[in-house]
Amino acid sequence: MASVLESVEWGKNALEFLNLIKMIDDDKPAIIYLRHSKADYSQVKSPKDGTLTEEGIQTSIEFGTKLPSEHRYRIFHSNYPRARITAEKIHRGLLNQNVESTIMGVQKNLIFSKSDEQKIMQLREVYDTEFTTHWISGRFNETEVESSLELAKENARKIIKNLKEIEAGSFDVYLTHDVTIIPLMFHWFGVFHNFPWPGHLEGFILQLYEEKMVYIDKEGKHELDYPHWWTMR
């Protein structure tokens, strides 16, 4: 069967991301933060309601069939349809290869959950690709747009809590958005990638140790100290 990921322009990067999984430590659980697949916004009033294109659906299924079969997977997603559908289709791909996979449902901190949605839309129209830079640098009123650092801390608390429930060799997969992945990489790892943002079905892999954290992205495998506030490990 022909590979959809090999036939689409952005699919090469998604396939390269899959190869990064070979770099994990099998003795530790792993966390994957992944951007949703290709979406269609043409039939909705608000961008948050965009759903997957047929290309997005097929690539998500194929992505699931290409995930390593020797692991167990739990899949969390944001409350936006494009992330939920990506999660469901990756889950389907995993089941197609008889891999143990469970959809855990919505995790609110995977996209803005404490912000004025209308205000965010207005700011994104004004700043376009610079929205994230302005947000991370604290230029917006935190009563309207939640702090990116607080979002990063909340995600850290959630992954720590979730990790207590899984074993070595398991994966927690978080289907989220580029606007979430960027501040997490900045506040967790000290890395900032300006536009172009992470592509569809791209993100990073994280494993946690007693005295260090190890993350894997397209630049390779990196070991570093925890942020000073990461006390819940």
pLDDT digits (tens, 9 = 90+) for 32-64: 999 999 998 888 777 778 899 999 999 999 999
Domain assignment present for residue 105? The answer is yes
Report yes or no on 233 lying in a domain. Answer: no
In a domain, 184, yes or no: yes
The total domain count for the chain is 1
Is 95 part of a structural domain of the chain?
Answer: yes
Is residue 134 in some structural domain?
yes
pLDDT score recorded for residue 1: 66
Q: How far is CA 65 from the centre of its chain?
A: 18
Residues 6+ apart with CB under 8 A from 46: 121
> How many angstroms from the chain centroid is the CA of residue 104?
15
| Structural domain harbouring 74 | 4-224
Answer yes or no: is 74 within a domain. Answer: yes
State which amino acid sits at residue 106: V
187-225 confidence digits (pLDDT tens): 999 998 877 789 999 999 999 999 999 999 999 999 999
Please check whether residue 102 lies inside any domain of the structure: yes
Alpha-carbon distances, residue 76 vs 8, 47, 84, 172 (angstroms): 26, 21, 8, 7
For 33, the 3-state DSSP assignment is strand
* Token code pair at residue 222: 């990196």
pTM, rounded to two decimals: 0.95
229 within some domain: no
Q: What is the 3-state secondary structure (H, E, C) of 122-135?
A: HHHHHHHHHHHHHH
pLDDT at residue 42, as a whole number: 84
Q: 202: domain CATH number?
A: 3.40.50.1240
What CA–CA distance (Å, rounded) separates 159 from 233?
Answer: 10
Round the average pLDDT of the chain to a whole number and report it: 93
